[in-house]
Chain A
Amino acid sequence: MIGRVRVRVVVNGVRHEREVEPRLLLSDFIRHELGLTGTHVGCEHGVCGACTVQLDGEPIRSCLMFAAQADGAAIATVEGLAPAPGELAPLQAAFREAHGLQCGYCTPGILMTLDAFLKAHPHPDEADIRAALSGNLCRCTGYQHIVAAVLLATRRNA
Chain B
Amino acid sequence: MTTRFFGAPVRRNEDERLLAGRGQFVDDIRLPGMLHAAFVRSPYAHARLAGIDPSRARAHPGVAAVYTATDLGEYWRPGPLIVPPPPVAGSVFNERTQVPLVKDKARHVGEPVAMVVAESRYLAEDAAALVAVEWDPLPVAAALEQAARPDAPRVHDDVPGNVAAHVRQQKGDYAAAANRAHRIIRRRYRYDHGASMPMETRGVVADWDSAAARLSVWDTTQAPIAIRNGLAEMLGLSERQVRVVAPFIGGGFGPKIMLFYPDEVLVPWAAMRLGRPVKWIEDRAEHFFSTSHEREQIHDAEIAVDAEGRILGVRDVFLHDTGAYDPYGLTVPLNSQCTLLGPYHVPAYDSTFTAVFTNKTLVTPYRGAGRQHGVFVIERLLDAAAHDLGLDRAEIRRRNFIPPNAFPYHNEIIYQDFEPLSYDSGDYAPMLDKALDLVGYGRFVTEEQPALRAQGRHVGIGVVCYVEGTGIGPYEGAKVQVQTSGKVSVLTGIGTQGQGHFTAFAQVVADQLGVEIADVEVITGDTDQFYWGAGTFASRGAVVAGNAVHGAAAAVRAKALATAAKHFECAPEDLVIEDGKVSVAGVPDHAIRLGALAALANPMRGAVAPGTEPGLEAVSYFGPESGATAAGVHAMIVEVDPESMQIEIRKYVVVHDCGTMINPLIVEGQVLGGVAQGIGNAFYEKLAFDDQGQLLNATLADYLLPTALEVPHVELAHTVTPSPLNPLGIKGVGEAGAIPGGPLFAQAIEDALGLPARGIHLDEIPLSPCRVWELAATNAGTE
Contact = CB atoms under 8 A, between A and B. Distances in A.
Contacts of B675: 142
B668 interface: yes
B250 A105 contact: yes
Instruction: Give the interface centre of B27, B677, B700 by most chain A CB atoms within 10 Å.
Output: B700
Contact of A96 (B11, B27, B700, B701): B11
Instruction: Give the interface centre of B665, B668, B707 by most chain A CB atoms within 10 Å.
Output: B707
Given A44-B284, A102-B500, A105-B200, A145 B19 contact: no
Interface of B: 9, 11-12, 14-16, 18-25, 27-28, 30, 122, 196-201, 248-251, 253, 283-285, 497-500, 665-666, 668-669, 672-677, 699-701, 705, 707-709, 711, 713-714, 737
A96 B16 contact: yes
Interface in A20-52: 21, 23-24, 31-32, 35-45, 47-48, 50
Given A38-B20, A88-B19, A99 B199 contact: no
A48 B200 CA distance: 10
Contacts of A97: 11
B711 A144 contact: yes
Interface of B is mostly: loop
B289 to A, nearest CB: 15
B672 A145 contact: yes
A59 interface: no
A88 B20 contact: yes
A99 B673 contact: no
A158 interface: no
A106 B24 CA distance: 13
A131 interface: yes
A45 B699 contact: yes
Contacts of A131: 708-709
Contacts of B21: 36-39, 77-79, 108
15 contacts: A42-B200, A47-B699, A77-B21, A78-B20, A78-B21, A79-B22, A88-B19, A99-B666, A104-B14, A104-B250, A130-B709, A131-B708, A139-B198, A141-B672, A142-B674
B668 A99 contact: yes
A44 B251 CA distance: 18
B696 to A, nearest CB: 16
A146 to B, nearest CB: 7
A103 B22 contact: no
Nearest to B24: A37
Interface of A: 21, 23-24, 31-32, 35-45, 47-48, 50, 77-79, 81-82, 88, 92, 95-97, 99, 101-108, 111, 126, 129-131, 133-147
Contacts of A81: 20
Given A44-B283, A96-B19, A141-B673, A103 B711 contact: no
Given A130-B708, A139-B198, A101 B15 contact: yes
A104 B19 contact: yes
A143 B737 CA distance: 14
A99 B670 CA distance: 11
Nearest to A23: B122
A107 B18 contact: yes
Given A21-B122, A130-B708, A144-B711, A138 B11 contact: no
Nearest to B709: A134
B51 to A, nearest CB: 31
Contacts of A135: 707
A79 B665 contact: no
Given A42-B200, A103-B198, A139 B253 contact: yes
B701 A47 contact: yes
Contact of A140 (B248, B284, B673, B707): B673
Contacts of A82: 19-20
A145 B669 contact: yes
Given A42-B284, A48-B700, A104-B498, A142 B673 contact: yes
A141 B669 contact: yes
Nearest to A110: B708
A61 to B, nearest CB: 12
A103 B248 contact: yes
A27 B27 CA distance: 12
Nearest to A94: B19
B657 to A, nearest CB: 19
A31 B27 CA distance: 9
A109 to B, nearest CB: 9
Instruction: Give the interface centre of A43, A79, A130 by most chain B CB atoms within 10 Å.
Output: A43
B250 A35 contact: no
Instruction: Give the interface centre of B705, B708, B737 by most chain A CB atoms within 10 Å.
Output: B708
B284 A45 contact: yes
A103 B200 contact: yes
Given A88-B16, A97-B11, A139-B705, A40 B199 contact: yes
B713 A126 contact: yes
Contacts of B711: 142-144
B28 A37 contact: yes
Contacts of B253: 139
A12 B328 CA distance: 46
A130 to B, nearest CB: 4
Contacts of B9: 99
B199 A137 contact: yes
B498 A45 contact: no
Contacts of A39: 21
A105 B20 contact: no
Contact of B199 (A21, A44, A48, A79): A48
A134 B199 contact: no
Contacts of B122: 21, 23-24
A33 B199 CA distance: 22
A35 B27 CA distance: 11
Instruction: Give the interface centre of B18, B674, B705 by most chain A CB atoms within 10 Å.
Output: B18
Contacts of B251: 102-103, 105, 139-140
Cβ-closest 4 pairs across A and B: A38-B21, A103-B498, A105-B250, A104-B18
B650 to A, nearest CB: 14
Nearest to B675: A142
Instruction: Give the interface centre of A32, A81, A105, A131 by most chain B CB atoms within 10 Å.
Output: A105
A50 B200 CA distance: 9
Contacts of B669: 99, 102, 140-142, 145
Given A32-B30, A41-B27, A144 B11 contact: no
Contact of B498 (A32, A41, A140): A140
Contacts of A24: 122
A105 B199 contact: yes
A98 B199 CA distance: 21
A104 B285 CA distance: 22
Contacts of B196: 139
A99 B665 contact: yes
A50 B251 CA distance: 13
